[in-house]
Amino acid sequence: MSDPKKSLSPVWNRYTQIHVDHAEGAFIYSADGRRYLDFTCGIGVTNTGHCHPKVVAAAQAQIGKLIHGQANLVYHQPMLDLVTELQRVFPPHLNCYFFSNSGAEAVEASLKLARNATGRPNLIVFQGSFHGRTVGTMSLDTSNTIYRKGYQPLMPGVFVAPFAYAYHYGWSEKETTRFCLKQLRHLLATQTAPEETAAILIEPILGEGGYVVPSEGFLQGVEEIARENSILLIADEIQSGFGRTGQWFAFQHFGLAPDIVVMAKGLASGFPLSGIAARRELMERWLPGSHGGTYGGNAVGCAAATATVRVMREEGLIENSARMGVKLQAALQGLQQRFPVIGQVRGLGLMVGVEFTTASGEPDQASAKAVWHHCLDNGLMLLTCGTYGNVIRWIPPLIISDAHLDEALSIYERALAAVAA
Ligand X SMILES: Cc1ncc(COP(=O)(O)O)c(C=O)c1O
Residue ranges binding ligand X (CB under 6 A): 43, 102-104, 107, 130-132, 203, 207-208, 236, 238-239, 264
Element (H, E) at 346: strand 342-348
Identify which of residues 218 and 341 has a Cβ nearer to ligand X in the complex: 218
Identify which of residues 130 and 412 has a Cβ nearer to ligand X in the complex: 130
Identify which of residues 123 and 411 has a Cβ nearer to ligand X in the complex: 123
In the complex, least distance from residue 102 CB atom to ligand X, rounded to whole angstroms: 4
Q: Is the dihedral of CA 328, 334, 337, 340 positive or negative?
A: negative
Identify which of residues 110 and 320 has a Cβ nearer to ligand X in the complex: 110
In the complex, least distance from residue 319 CB atom to ligand X, rounded to whole angstroms: 24
In the complex, least distance from residue 119 CB atom to ligand X, rounded to whole angstroms: 25
Chain-centroid distance of CA 154 in Å reads 23
In the complex, least distance from residue 100 CB atom to ligand X, rounded to whole angstroms: 10
For residues 59 and 66, is the Cβ–Cβ distance under 8 A? no
Identify which of residues 107 and 405 has a Cβ nearer to ligand X in the complex: 107
Q: Which is it for strands 391-394 and 351-356: parallel, antiparallel or unpaired? A: antiparallel
In the complex, least distance from residue 218 CB atom to ligand X, rounded to whole angstroms: 17
Identify which of residues 211 and 356 has a Cβ nearer to ligand X in the complex: 211
In the complex, least distance from residue 134 CB atom to ligand X, rounded to whole angstroms: 8
Identify which of residues 223 and 236 has a Cβ nearer to ligand X in the complex: 236
For residues 394 and 382, is the Cβ–Cβ distance under 8 A? yes
Nearest to residue 345, comparing CAs of 332, 361, 363?
332
Q: Which is it for strands 27-30 and 96-100: parallel, antiparallel or unpaired? A: unpaired
For residues 238 and 274, is the Cβ–Cβ distance under 8 A? yes
Q: Is the dihedral of CA 310, 330, 383, 401 positive or negative?
A: negative
Identify which of residues 39 and 374 has a Cβ nearer to ligand X in the complex: 39
DSSP 78-138: HHHHHHHHHHHHS-TT--EEEEESSHHHHHHHHHHHHHHHH---EEEEETT----SSHHHH
In the complex, least distance from residue 243 CB atom to ligand X, rounded to whole angstroms: 15
Identify which of residues 265 and 404 has a Cβ nearer to ligand X in the complex: 265
In the complex, least distance from residue 12 CB atom to ligand X, rounded to whole angstroms: 12
Q: Which residues, 6+ apart, have CB-to-CB distance to 17 below 8 Å?
A: none
Nearest residue to ligand X, using CB? 103
Strand partners, 277: 97, 261
252 φ, ψ to 5°? -70, -25
CA 218, CA 195: separation in Å to the nearest integer? 23
In the complex, least distance from residue 221 CB atom to ligand X, rounded to whole angstroms: 21
Identify which of residues 135 and 417 has a Cβ nearer to ligand X in the complex: 135
In the complex, least distance from residue 239 CB atom to ligand X, rounded to whole angstroms: 4
The amino acid at residue 101 is N
Q: Is the dihedral of CA 36, 37, 41, 43 positive or negative?
A: negative
Q: Which residues, 6+ apart, have CB-to-CB distance to 406 below 8 Å?
A: none
